[in-house]
Amino acid sequence: MALLAALSLGLCAPFTADVHLPLLGAAKAAALAVNQKLRLLNNEIDFGTKHTPHITLYLTEWQCRSDALVSALRSAVVQLATQRCRVTLGRAYAAGKFAMLNVSAPCARVASDAVVNATHRLAAPNQSVPEWVYALPEPARSEKIADVRRFGSPNVFDQFRAHVSVGWASDESSVASAVAQLAYEPGATFRADVVAVGSTGAHGTVL
């Protein structure tokens, strides 16, 4: 894998950034098609003009835009250099306010673990636990709270679930019915050979 890091350095202030696998090729086209079919939701996620279809590896607030962050990311990606990462898109499902595509890719978990291991010391300490975490059943709730405290993210290590978010709406039942009516054939694949870091918009989007 190679690293694509467009971070302008120099300003030491906390910022949120998403380390991710950008979708490529047939999988990118499939995610775009699904996203366009879900337009009836409200366009809050828009792969046509604004957002990058991606699999998040590590989303957190960082202390600073620094050389240390770029070199820690680079060392994680070097460690992944020999990974062959074939990603297959799975079924579409509703997860609360999100419409998601499941992803089958054991290498995504390995890549996430490597990125978190190499970089979490540079994440902002003492980040707040997102509200939705408190609504989860145990043991996920306690594990995610511990992960936020330690790593600044509720979705790492055993709580990592590779997915692509393709739609969002505040009304959960409209998400569920849009997904139920979706004409979508799983199975598009791509070879993930780039790890990218990007700034984030609302609802976990990458700009």
Ligand X SMILES: *[C@@H]1O[C@H](CO)[C@@H](O)[C@H](O)[C@H]1NC(C)=O
Q: Taking the complex as a whole, how short is the minimal distance between the CB of residue 50 and ligand X, in angstroms? A: 26
Residue whose pair of structure tokens reads 């957002």 in the numeric block: 51
| Binding status of residue 91 toward ligand X by CB under 6 A | yes
Other CB atoms within 10 A of residue 75 CB: 16
Q: Look up residue 134 and give its two tokens.
A: 């408190």
| Binding status of residue 128 toward ligand X by CB under 6 A | yes
* Count of residues in contact with ligand X, rule CB under 6 A: 11
Look up residue 137 and give its DSSP letter: P
| Binding status of residue 110 toward ligand X by CB under 6 A | yes
Q: Taking the complex as a whole, how short is the minimal distance between the CB of residue 2 and ligand X, in angstroms? A: 18
**Footprint (CB under 6 A) of ligand X, residues 133-192:** none
Q: Please pick, from the candidates 23, 30, 73, 114, the single residue that binds ligand X as defined by CB under 6 A.
A: 114
Q: Look up residue 164 and give its two tokens.
A: 């692509």
Please state, in angstroms and rounded to a whole number, the distance separating the CA atoms of residues 12 and 65. Answer: 6
| Binding status of residue 75 toward ligand X by CB under 6 A | no
Strands 86-95 and 189-191: antiparallel
3-class state of residue 200 by DSSP: strand
| Binding status of residue 70 toward ligand X by CB under 6 A | no
| Binding status of residue 90 toward ligand X by CB under 6 A | yes
Centroid of chain to Cα 49: 19
User: E strands within 141-205?
Assistant: 163-168, 189-191, 194-199
| Binding status of residue 113 toward ligand X by CB under 6 A | yes
At how many degrees (to 10) do helices 106-119 and 67-79 cross? Answer: 150
Q: Please pick, from the candidates 117, 159, 174, 189, the single residue that binds ligand X as defined by CB under 6 A.
A: 117
Q: Please pick, from the candidates 66, 75, 102, 174, the single residue that binds ligand X as defined by CB under 6 A.
A: 102
Q: Considering the complex, state which of residue 114 and residue 123 has its C-beta at the smaller distance from ligand X.
A: 114
User: Which residues of this chain interact with ligand X, rule CB under 6 A?
Assistant: 90-91, 93, 102, 104, 110, 113-114, 117, 126, 128
